[in-house]
Structure formats: structure tokens, C-alpha cells
Chains A and B, each alone.
Chain A
Amino acid sequence: MLLNASGCLDALTAPEVARSLDAFVTKTVTPLPRDGNPPVRIAEAEVGMLNSIGLANPGIDRFLTGNLPRLAKLEIPIWVSVGGFAAEEYAEICSRLDDHAEVAAIELNVSCPNVESPSESAARIVASARLATRKPLWAKLSAAVPDIGAVACAACEAGADGLSLVNTLRGLTLDARTLRPSLAPAVGGLSGPALKPVALAAVYACYQATSMPIVGMGGVQTGRDVLDFVAAGARHVALGTALFADPDAPSRVRADVAVELDARGYSDLDDVHATAHPELLSIRTTTNGKYLLK
């Protein structure tokens, strides 16, 4: 599946772009409405960009009454990205989404670099959310940890169904003239091509540690990027910054994937999956749709 990275598309202002994806991931929804951070909120870096939007969103009440019914009319699967500042807040939102059939999956944003982090661990948040919903739960992790494979294992044991890898990394750019931070909050989240090797390493490590289904993202611009993420272990791939520069990126990347597969003699992306892990391919088995290593 080709998705958008959360926060990189508004399906209500650009429905035709959302429809060109296999599923739409919402901007992160929090318990209360948030205006987000003051401007300046974005800056271009050498091979990426910084953002510090600060989880601007209408809050779960207005999301459920205003946004979700309109999103449902797009008739593509809707993944809701959920954020909070404590495990109970994640659980509360998950519980309120649980009865909405139009919500295909929930992504737990436990790693936004632009707001204060929840004090609990990713695993504790996943465990709380797991008790609150039967929906598929995807934990969106940051690569800015010493051992992302260990975080992935903990999220898996806490009941996550999959992983979204990776969130942006904290970065800083300075104004060329004043040498002061370009962004009002100074530091923002780095996305774009600069993030790709970091994201690939995270996908590789988490696949090796858990074999969980993974949505890979971070600097995907071309068909070759998609092949790289799938080869590293991702089942799905999301476009982020590429959508900003080109709303036609989904169809362009799909066409590009077909060319790249053909050039290598593959018939589809399943042929590429996890080829970066030759040592695992021979011992992998599946049980109930989840991959197990042993």
C-alpha cells in the first residue's frame, strides 16, 4: 500500500490527492483542539526540510463530528493518527474511535518532535490503547533512540499490530543573514531525503527484531526509494515531504515502482520484500497474519 505520512496531506482540501493513495492517514488528533506553534513553522534544509507545526488539529470532538464524516465520503481507508500527553489520553481517543467503522486503523504518534513528549514509554501507551480499541494499532516510532529494535519489541508485546517508521528527527537551521533559528520554536522535525538512510536503518532493525508489518517512510521520492524500504522490511510505504513538492507524487511513484521492478525482473513488490535480510527469509513463518521469527 502507498499511504501519506501523517501531517503531510489534508484530504479535505486536496481530496483528489488522497484518492490517489491506498489509505489516507490523518494529521494527529489530540484530546483538545490545538492551534499549533507560532510561525515561522517551516524551513528548507540542504537535503530536507524542517517543520514545527506543533500538532495543530481540531481536537477529537470536532474531528468526530466535522472531519470524520467528510473523510468517510472519500471512500478510501482512513487511518487516524492519535496523539496525547499521557497514556490515558491516547486510550481515551482510541476508545472514541473504536465504534467508527470508517476508521480502518489507528496510528499512535508517540514520537512527535515538536511537542513535549509523553512521559510514558511507547510500550505503555500501546498497552493502554490496546485495552481501548479493537482497531489495528500502528505505533509510530522515532529513530532517535539508542535501540529502536528494543522499542519495537516492546510495542509488539504491548499489542501493536504494526509499526510506522519513522517520525522526523529534531533539526535546526539558521537564517543566512541573522544567524538566528529559522523557525519560531527554534528546533523542528527534519524530513525529506536527508532522513532516508536513518529511516531505512530503523526499518531494517525493527524488521529483524520483530518481523512486524511496517509502514516505511522518510525521504521517499522515487520508485527506487519504495523498493529500498520494502527490501529493508516494510510492507507499506508512505510519502511525506514529496507530497509538498508534487501532489502528483503518488501516481508518479507508482509508475516508477513498476519500472524499477521490471528492470530487476520482479513481478511485484512481494518479490522484493525483506530481500535485505537473506538470513531471515529461510526461517520466516506466518501465524494469524503476524510474522514470527522463531
Chain B
Amino acid sequence: MRRERLSVVASERVGPYTLLRVTRGGLDPGIPGQFFMLEAPGRLLPRPMSVCLAPPGELAFLIDPIGPGTRALCGLEGGDRLAILGPLGNGFQLDVERPLLVGGGIGIAPLPYLSEALGRPPAVLGFRSDWHAEAAGLVPDAEVCVEPRLVTELVDPDAAILACGPEPMLEAVRALAPAAQLAWEAPMACGYGACYGCAVELDGALKRLCVEGPVLCS
């Protein structure tokens, strides 16, 4: 865990989302599925974001402007600086046979980096609209569906599934494929086990998603 002040290289619109590209500095990009805490300009608390892409010398985060913190992050411009802490948490296990990436909405954020790490396996992605589905271009070899079709209709339950998306999607994937690796999300103040804010129920007990997850094998 390391915190550095880094510079924005570029901020690119991808459908309704923003791909925020920053210099990597001395930060390790980590394992796909791990996350970083990004200082949100003008806000008290940083925001957790998984790495979307890690080209040489850069880290890129896909951000959905849904609240004051994410809107502030999407408003950053080239040359702006922000503090970034990470990598944090546990990423995906990569030693899998016949992987299938499953993503929904902004949950596709970690999949481009994951796809690179796994040698571009097939992916199935679901989005709310064609506009949101523009983000599918970030994920190689992706089959895309848009509501009312659901991504679970495209899932082969016999594949080794690595998924990230909204909670109902993850629950549906887990019902189809109990051994799937699922990346979950929860509000977090710190990202490193200090605040106990991101507790989720695991095996009947509340545990911190930031240190036990965010990727969990169900």
C-alpha cells in the first residue's frame, strides 16, 4: 500500500463514463480486481476504483459520474493532480481454465485489465442502453447485450467465470455458477481496513470487503 500524488494524463469520455488516465508514478498496478482509493477534488473521502487499464507508465480508471465524488473525478483535466492509494484488497485468481469474463454496466471497469492478464478470453457484457454499451469497446472479444436482455442469458455456466457488476447481476451469476469469482462493491471510507464501513455478510458474519475482497469466490 502506497500513496502518491499523480498527474492526470487525459480524461476521455466513453459513453456516459469517463476513462481517467493518470501517470503511474511508483505505484504497482496490482492484480486485476484490486483497487485504488482516488482523492476526489473537494470531497472529504477518497473513492474506490479498480484498475481498468495499466499501459506502461499509466493507470486508467473507468468512472461513472453518479455522485459528488465521482462527478468531481470525472471533471479532472490533463495536468490536474490527485492522491492515489493502492493497490488494495484481493484481486481475481488468474490460474483458471477456460475463463469467461462477465460484466454489467460500470462493473466492466476491471475487465479490460483482467482480459489482458488472461490473454483476451471471451467476455459477455450487459448494459442499460446503447449509450452505456459504448464502453464495451474497452473489452476485447466481448459479446454485448442491452436491457431488457440480461447478461446472464449469455453466460455459459460451465466456464470459469470472473464477474463484476451490480449486486443483482452477481447474485444471478452465482446462482448459475456457484464457483464463480465475483468482484463486489460497497461504500468505503478508507480501503485499507480502518473504517469497517464496507462490511458485507460472508459465511454468516460481517466482514470488511476491502481486506477480505473485493473479489470473493462464492
Residues on A lying within 8 angstroms of B by beta carbon are 7-10, 13-14, 17, 27, 35-36, 38-44, 47-49, 51, 53, 56, 176, 192-193, 241, 243-248
Contact = CB atoms under 8 A, between A and B. Distances in A.
SS class, residues of chain B in contact with chain A? loop
Given A35-B205, A47-B44, A241-B44, A247 B85 contact: yes
Given A36-B206, A176-B67, A14 B196 contact: no
Contacts of A53: 195-197, 199
Contacts of B217: none
A36 B3 CA distance: 29
11 contacts: A8-B194, A9-B194, A13-B194, A39-B199, A39-B200, A40-B186, A42-B189, A53-B195, A53-B197, A245-B44, A245-B46
Contacts, number: 94
The A interface, classified by DSSP as helix, strand, loop or mixed, is loop
B149 interface: no
Contact of B195 (A17, A39, A51, A246): A51
Contacts of B198: 39, 41-42
A56 B190 contact: no
Contact of A14 (B45, B189, B192, B197): B192
Contacts of B98: none
Contact of A246 (B3, B186, B193): B3
B172 interface: no
Nearest to B189: A244
B187 interface: yes
Given A42-B189, A245-B39, A246-B83, A51 B197 contact: yes
Contacts of B44: 44, 47-49, 192-193, 241, 245
Interface of B: 1, 3, 39, 43-46, 67-69, 83, 85, 186-190, 192-200, 205-206, 211
A243 B43 contact: no
Given A47-B44, A193-B44, A56 B199 contact: yes
A248 to B, nearest CB: 6
A246 B187 CA distance: 17
A7 B68 CA distance: 26
A27 B190 CA distance: 15
B206 A35 contact: yes
Nearest to A44: B45
A56 B206 contact: yes
A13 B189 contact: no
Given A47-B44, A193-B44, 16 more contacts: A13-B192, A13-B193, A13-B194, A36-B196, A49-B189, A56-B196, A56-B206, A241-B189, A244-B189, A244-B194, A245-B45, A246-B83, A247-B1, A247-B3, A247-B190, A247-B194
Contacts of B195: 8, 42, 51, 53, 244
A7 B196 contact: yes
A232 to B, nearest CB: 22
Given A35-B205, A36-B206, A241-B44, A247 B192 contact: yes
